[in-house]
Structure 1
Amino acid sequence: MTADRFVVEVKEFTRSREQMIFIFFFPMIFLALFGAIFNTDDLYGTGVSFGQYFLAGMIASGMLNTGFQSLAISISIDRSEDALKRIHATPLPPTAYFFGKILQVLVVSVVQVALLIAMGALLFDVSLPADAWHWVTFAWVFVLGLACSTAWGIATSSLLRNGKAASAILTPVVLVLQFTSGVFFVFTELPSWLQHFAEVFPLKWLAQGMRAVFLPDEFAAAEAAGSWQLPLIAIVLSVWLVAGLVISAKTFRWLRLDDR
């Protein structure tokens, strides 16, 4: 049942041109534009270009868009159109529905990250990690960050009263996080109060974890704390993941508020 539901989710995604453009092409367009506009070849004397720095942020941002924003909107629309009510009335177990969604988010994110890495290597000479330690770091940051984003996507879907207005509500939230978390700008160049604001939320730590993978180790000294802070990244993302799971379990609803 999970496999069948996953196939349905993939078909729905691939048949939605707007969603595919938002998930795949927007991050690639932003990577090309911002990398070309802010064409700095030597950030803080580390030999790192802004395009290389921006790649890590766009990978993190793409995962947030896929796991949080896109998932919350799609579930909210399903609820508004009574699709969730019909699904809940069938023999399909709730676990199969959720795992189908999660697997679809995972596959889409893998493709998205692969495209961004390929683009970064071609346009901005981003070097892929040459040792196993960096790939292990990438694996756990990716899995933990995507799980956190997905959990909050499910949790947030229940807080949205209207599926049609979901995008208008979530887009400003995501934009604020992107502009304050070291995605569109170098994090240390932001005012200190914005840095402290961003430290509360997972996107800042997800972007920092990706920088630890794709930027040279020498750049760690240019971070706000003077290091990659990998243990703290794991702790913050884990706390947000647990909180998202708890809120999802307690607040998720299959019916519209009007039906109650």
Structure 2
Amino acid sequence: MTTTAAEKATTTAPLPSALALGLSRAAVETRMFFREKDAVIFTFSFPIILLVLFGSIFSDQFKGTGITVSQVYTAGLIGAGVMGAAFQNLGIGIAIDREDGTLKRLAGTPMPRSAYFVGKMLSSLVIALLEVLILLAIGVLMYGLELPTEVSPWITLTWVLVLGLAGAALLGIAASSIPRSAKSAAAVISMPFVVLQFISGVYIPFTELPPWLINISSVFPLKWMCQGLRSVFLGEEGARLELTGSYELGRVALVLGAWVIGGLVLCLMTFRWKGRRDG
């Protein structure tokens, strides 16, 4: 039995896969981000300005290590930049999408909902990688940061960034449901992120922090991401600056992996496609 022309016309073409749609959505999200010049300037300039300021003010060496404070700041601010691109940007951006109706409209299309999140996370990955490259260039050119010459540290850098970015992004998606409106999203999401930077070894060494703050920071991914990054760029001498005298990379992987799983659970439990005013 042959198919008639009418039957052919009414046949619905299969939709692209969720991954393909996610890649397309990532391209859209990335273009939209770079069109917002104020967001681009703030996202990239903030960690750069802090690195230049802190690196110029605190340029002494840690005794007996040959490592400067500027180099430690470089590793810490790379971690903060990655988490900012994932947690902060995603949390605020999704809260805005929810209030202006973007989420509601996308939920009503045939596009798989997972494609939206794939697009958001891949866009954050692009932004984070650009930020890492810029901060690394400043660290190398201005503060004598030495890039690893062996393969092993680069492998460590890859899994630390992947796990750290994934965990921070999922945490940002979950946190996007906290603000009551898009206007309050920046304050509600940025404030805990700023506090976390101060207690996670980004700006203040752990040796200067009281134990109870160290215990709090140890619960969150930023502390472990920065610790993993220090292992890549500061080498064996830098391990002497850690509280335990070791980078504890096994524990870094365990905590960051736990945040990927925990962040996914939080997203499934808390994420809302509609705003509070939509009922």
So what's the TM-score if we normalise by structure 2? Answer: 0.90
Matches of 2:258 and 2:22, distance apart in 1:
27
Deviations 1:100-159 (A, max 9, x none): 111101111111101110110000010000101100110110100000000101111122
Deviations 1:172-229 (A, max 9, x none): 2011111111101222222222222211211111111100000021221221011000
Matches of 1:171 and 1:99, distance apart in 2:
23
Specify the alignment match of 2:157 in structure 1.
138
Specify the alignment match of 2:41 in structure 1.
21
Question: Alignment partner for residue 231 of structure 1, among 244, 250, 264?
Answer: 250
Letter in 1 for 2:226: A
Instruction: Look up the SS of the partner of 2:219 in the other structure.
Output: coil
Question: Alignment partner for residue 126 of structure 1, among 128, 145, 157?
Answer: 145
Matches of 1:171 and 1:256, distance apart in 2:
20
Asked if 1:209 is matched to 2:228, the reply is yes
Specify the alignment match of 1:8 in structure 2.
28
Corresponding residue pairs, total: 259
- Unaligned 5+ segments in structure 2 are 1-20
Matches of 2:22 and 2:155, distance apart in 1:
28
Letter in 1 for 2:271: F
CA contact (8 A) 2:175 2:189 kept: no
CA contact (8 A) 1:44 1:222 kept: no
- Unaligned 5+ segments in structure 1 are none
Which consecutive segments of 4 or more residues in structure 1 shift more than 3 A? none
Matches of 1:193 and 1:255, distance apart in 2:
38
Instruction: Look up the SS of the partner of 1:90 in the other structure.
Output: coil
The farther-off stretch of 241-250 and 190-199 is: 190-199
Instruction: Look up the SS of the partner of 1:144 in the other structure.
Output: helix
Instruction: Look up the SS of the partner of 1:91 in the other structure.
Output: coil
Specify the alignment match of 1:259 in structure 2.
278
The farther-off stretch of 87-96 and 140-149 is: 87-96
Equivalent positions of 1:98-117 (< 5 A) are 98-117=117-136
Letter in 1 for 2:49: I
Equivalent positions of 1:35-54 (< 5 A) are 35-40=55-60, 42-54=61-73
TM-aligned CA deviation for residue 160 of structure 1? 2.0
So what's the TM-score if we normalise by structure 1? Answer: 0.97
Matches of 1:94 and 1:257, distance apart in 2:
20
Letter in 1 for 2:94: I
Matches of 2:208 and 2:220, distance apart in 1:
18
CA contact (8 A) 1:52 1:126 kept: yes
Matches of 2:157 and 2:23, distance apart in 1:
27
Specify the alignment match of 1:34 in structure 2.
54
Identity of paired residues, percent?
45
Letter in 2 for 1:92: M
CA contact (8 A) 2:47 2:77 kept: yes
Question: Alignment partner for residue 180 of structure 1, among 194, 199, 204?
Answer: 199
